[in-house]
Amino acid sequence: MATPKQQRLIDDTVRNHVKYYDVVFSSYLKIRQEILLLNTTILKELKQQEEEDFPSVVFQETAFKLHQLLLDLQKSELLYKAHIEELVNVLQIQKVLKPDILTSVNSQLESIIKQNEELEKRIKDIKNVEQPILEKITTLVNSCNTNLAVPTARLLHPDVISGLGKDEDKKEKESTQIDYRLLVFDTRDLQKRFLDLTADKLKNTDIDEYLKINSKIFDRFKNDDSRVIYKLPRSSLHELDSTTTLDKYDGLISKTIEQIQTLQKEGESIKSSWNKNASKITKMDAILKEDENDVEMSQ
């Protein structure tokens, strides 16, 4: 049984449907309204005639309207009965067959529920998996940008590199920073890399000696001559950004080779200058010794 509130809702729904969507019922309601209006008109005319002492006679125009309404009412009665029979037949059919619209609604409901479950799963995956990864990537990118900018680049010492990954409390923080251990190179590997270069001035260079005397780009480890650390703040990587093309990379590689050649020339120049000065000192020392011998002989 429906509650009073539910019954009112049902009545209002039926009334609204009959008024706006059911042509047969709405035409029947219209005839009822016209009959009521005509009845009011006839009563008014009869009352007016009584007040004026005229015999009670229905006007010809009113009588014509009454006759027309009787015909419309008979026609509406036939249509009304046929419409009722049709509705009864529909109700009988619906007891056996499920309406297509109900099947469609159920199908749409199942589809919406499935989409909602997939959406909730996707949101959960974004919150619990993708967002933490994105935050770590963002932190890592910021760390990279910080260390590629000359004013904020971290000056690393070999001792700092040696301590990475050993403190369990710092591992989580280190995982979102640049892995500075990647800046550590084996000297034998570097020698092979340099020997593969096509520049003639680099082919015959003593790379091991160069790494020992050069402190502008590389730092050596204490008690471990087999490894060096690349000084990132001194690198040309500060000129890189997200828009860097392959041509720019090639240009930076060429620039780095030129810098190495320049440093090599500076080292050779210093060595040559030192050799010249050492030769002068040796000659001066020989002259002084020769003068001393002459003095001794003259005595």
Instruction: Report pLDDT for 107.
Output: 80
Q: Render the burial of 173-183: b for 16+ CB within 10 Å, e for the rest.
A: eeeebbebeeb
DSSP summary character for residue 177: S
Confidence (pTM): 0.30
**Closest by Cα among 52, 49, 51 to 62:** 49
List, in sequence order, every residue forming a beta bridge with 227; answer none if it has no partner: 186
Nearest residue to 108 (alpha-carbon basis) of 100, 96, 118:
100
Of 218, 207, 209, 195, the closest CA to residue 271 belongs to 209
- pLDDT (tens place) for every residue of the chain, 299 residues total: 668 777 788 778 877 777 777 777 778 778 888 888 888 888 887 787 777 766 555 677 877 888 888 888 888 888 888 888 887 887 777 676 666 666 777 788 888 889 989 999 988 888 888 888 787 777 767 766 666 565 666 556 556 666 555 555 555 555 556 666 777 778 777 777 666 654 555 545 566 666 666 666 777 777 777 777 777 666 555 555 556 666 776 777 777 777 777 777 777 777 777 778 777 777 777 777 776 666 555 55
Q: What are the boundaries of each domain within the chain?
A: 1-51, 141-289
Please report the pLDDT score of residue 198 as a whole number. 47
Q: What is the C-alpha to C-alpha distance for residues 295 and 167, in angstroms, rounded to an integer?
A: 72
Angle separating helix axes 60-96 and 23-51, nearest 10 degrees: 150
- Per the structure block, which two tokens stand in for 135? 């935050």
